[in-house]
Every structure is written in structure tokens, then in C-alpha cells.
């Protein structure tokens, strides 16, 4: 069992690349964040199936390392900051998780799989396995990097996991505009089926909304905001739909969600909610890990 490093520091960044164009977006974001936070950057490519690491594989690895180093250097305006580039044999998700642990990485970055990301996710991609089996927070990069994050939406359920998500997002994008979003259910359909009158449903939902806003205020008091204003969003509806809808409405370029480190729970955050966010969010998604991991590396 591995205890992850506390997720509030951002000093060590690890980006995994499969040499695709989507992975190049992740490298660009990782280089930007490392520069912005004065952190170190490791770029990792895993040669899948390179059993024995024969001479031919070593030649390929050497060429890939040179190409990656050239790409990273082109992204860094300050030539005094040198990234570490590693090309290793093995199973990609295993080696990424292993490297994250060895580096005590504060954040792992991976590229999304475009329009077919959720299909790939359910089939078990490297990115999905890193999110589910790893013990580090993961930034899934979908967009080309144009600038630092400007608008961040953080889904909160008032748990410690969402608290960690909000605090890490604040560290990651200190200059951004922040929205903390809580989605509650008014149980309208259930109440209607139970024979509650329309006026009774309205009264009940108003009370639930009031309590949710009160909980939000209590929750926000426990956040180290450093005097940064955070807009509170409390909405009635289905979380999986409302999170992505509101992300579009506020034009978020980053959505953050929290997850517990429990392998007994096969899905992150609220299961289908997080998967829907990963599929439908029009922007990058930060999955913040808290707790321990029981995944034993081979």
C-alpha cells in the first residue's frame, strides 16, 4: 500500500506520452505548468512489449528520447530549465504509475482520446488505468495549450475528496476565475409519484436548496482561498448532466473532480458521473486523488 504525497504541492510534474498528437497537447500543458510553478518535469514514453530491451529496442528508445527532448526544449522559453526524458520498456500504465511513485510526482498528465475517449475509457486505455489504479492526481488534457487556465469549475459534494480537489485546483491555476459547483437532487419525480402536491414539492425543493447553500458556505470556510473570490453554484438536477452543462456555460477550460483511493470502488468520483465528465466536458479534466492505493505493481 502506498501513501501518496499530499496533493497541495506542485513541484514535480510527470507527463506520459504515446507519441500521438493528443499526447503532444499534454506535453505542452505539462511544460507550461512546470514553467509557471517553477517545478521539475519528467516526460515518459513506454515501449510496450519491448521484452528483453534488445539492441534494436535500445536504438529506437534512444531516437525517441532525442525527439522528445527536442520537442520539450522548443516549448520552454527558459533554456536553464531542463526536463528529464525517459523511454522505458514495459506495460505503459504500470510504468507510468511506477514512475509517479518513484518521482513522488505531484501531478501526472495524460492526453485524452478525443471524440472516442469514453469508448476507449471503458475498454481500458492507459489513461483510464492510470486514473483508476494510480495513487497520484491526474490531469487529462483535451485542449491545445494557448495560455494558463482562465476559468475553473470544481464539482463539490462537501466531502474531503472535493475539498482536496478544490485546493489543488487553486494551487494549479492561482490566477483563474473559480466556480465551486454543487448539484443536489430535489427528488421531484419521486415526490410526485408519492402523491405530494405541486406546492408541496416546491416548498420541499426550496428547503433543500437553502440547506445546500448553507452547506456550501460551511464548506468554503474550510478552504484556504488566500482571499481569492470563488463563485458558488448550487443547482438542482442530475450531476452528470449539470456539471458539463455549466462548464460550457461558464466557458471553463478546466473541470476538477475528487476521488477516493479505494480499489473496492471501481469508478472514480460518483462512477458514471465522472465518466460522463471525462467524456463530455469540453475542456481539460483534473482528477484529484486522496487516500491510499492498494494496487500492487508487478
Question: What would the pLDDT profile of 12-30 be if each residue is shown by its tens digit?
Answer: 999 999 998 889 999 999 9
Q: What is the pLDDT of residue 265?
A: 38
For residue 270, list its beta bridge partners: none
Residues 6 or more apart whose CB falls under 8 angstroms from that of 171 comprise 8, 9, 10
The string of pLDDT tens digits covering residues 131-169 is 888 889 999 999 999 899 999 999 999 988 899 999 999
Q: Distance between CA 294 and CA 65 in Å, rounded? A: 32
In a domain? residue 37:
yes
Classify 268 as helix, strand or coil: coil
pLDDT higher than 90, residue 67:
yes
Q: How far is CA 229 from CA 172, 179, 211, 263, in A?
A: 16, 9, 22, 35
pLDDT higher than 70, residue 38:
yes
In a domain? residue 52:
yes
For residue 151, list its beta bridge partners: 177
Q: How far is CA 23 from CA 20, 43, 139, 144, 244, in A?
A: 5, 11, 12, 10, 23
Quick one: cell of 207? 428547503
Domain with 266, as residue range(s), is: 12-290
In a domain? residue 49:
yes
In a domain? residue 39:
yes
Classify 105 as helix, strand or coil: coil
Classify 149 as helix, strand or coil: coil
Top mean pLDDT of 179-183, 194-198, 224-228 is at 179-183
CATH number for 126: 3.40.50.12370
The string of pLDDT tens digits covering residues 116-126 is 544 444 434 78
What is the signed CA dihedral for 238, 128, 247, 270, rounded to 10 degrees? 30
Q: Distance between CA 152 and CA 278 in Å, rounded? A: 15
In a domain? residue 297:
no
Write down the number of H helices and E strands in the chain.
Answer: 10, 10
In a domain? residue 5:
no
> How many domains does one find in the chain?
1
pTM of the full predicted structure? 0.86
Ramachandran bin of 112, using left for φ above 0, alpha for ψ from -120 to 50, beta for the remaining angles: beta
Quick one: cell of 59? 536504438
Tell which residue, 178, 122, 153, 140, has the closest CA to residue 256: 153
The string of pLDDT tens digits covering residues 243-287 is 999 999 999 999 999 876 444 333 344 356 777 787 788 899 999
In a domain? residue 7:
no
In a domain? residue 296:
no
Question: For every residue of 258-288, which 3-state class applies, written as one string?
Answer: EEECCCCCCCCCCCHHHHHHHHHCCCEEEEE
Residues 6 or more apart whose CB falls under 8 angstroms from that of 42 comprise 12, 13, 14, 15, 83, 84, 85, 86, 99, 103, 105
Look up residue 53 and give its DSSP letter. G
Amino acid at each position: 500500500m502506498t501513501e501518496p504525497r499530499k496533493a497541495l504541492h506542485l513541484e514535480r510534474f510527470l507527463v506520459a506520452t504515446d507519441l500521438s498528437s493528443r499526447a503532444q497537447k499534454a506535453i505542452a500543458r505539462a511544460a507550461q505548468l512546470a514553467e509557471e510553478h517553477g517545478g521539475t518535469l519528467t516526460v515518459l514514453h513506454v515501449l510496450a512489449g519491448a521484452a528483453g530491451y534488445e539492441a534494436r529496442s535500445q536504438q529506437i528508445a534512444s531516437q525517441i528520447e532525442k525527439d522528445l527532448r527536442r520537442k520539450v526544449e522548443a516549448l520552454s522559453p527558459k533554456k536553464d530549465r531542463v526536463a528529464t526524458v525517459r523511454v522505458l520498456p514495459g506495460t505503459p500504465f504500470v510504468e507510468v504509475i511506477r514512475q509517479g511513485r518513484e518521482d513522488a510526482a505531484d501531478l501526472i498528465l495524460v492526453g485524452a482520446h478525443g471524440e472516442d475517449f469514453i469508448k476507449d475509457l471503458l475498454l481500458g486505455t492507459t489513461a483510464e488505468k492510470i486514473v483508476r489504479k494510480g495513487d497520484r492526481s491526474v490531469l487529462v488534457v483535451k485542449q491545445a495549450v494557448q495560455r494558463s487556465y482562465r476559468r475553473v469549475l470544481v464539482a463539490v459534494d462537501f466531502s474531503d475528496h472535493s475539498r482536496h480537489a478544490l485546493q489543488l485546483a487553486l494551487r494549479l491555476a492561482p490566477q483563474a476565475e473559480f466556480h465551486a459547483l454543487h448539484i443536489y437532487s430535489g427528488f421531484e419525480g419521486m415526490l410526485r409519484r408519492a402523491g405530494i402536491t405541486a406546492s408541496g414539492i416546491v416548498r420541499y425543493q426550496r428547503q433543500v436548496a437553502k440547506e445546500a447553500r448553507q452547506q456550501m458556505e460551511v464548506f468554503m470556510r474550510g478552504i484556504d482561498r488566500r482571499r481569492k473570490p470563488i463563485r458558488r453554484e448550487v443547482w438542482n438536477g442530475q450531476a452528470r448532466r449539470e456539471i458539463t452543462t455549466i462548464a460550457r456555460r461558464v466557458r471553463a477550460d478546466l473541470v476538477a473532480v475528487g476521488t477516493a483511493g479505494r480499489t473496492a470502488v471501481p469508478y472514480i468520483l460518483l462512477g458514471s458521473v465522472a465518466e460522463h465528465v471525462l467524456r463530455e466536458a469540453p475542456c481539460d479534466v483534473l482528477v484529484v486523488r486522496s487516500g491510499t492505493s492498494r494496487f500492487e505493481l508487478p
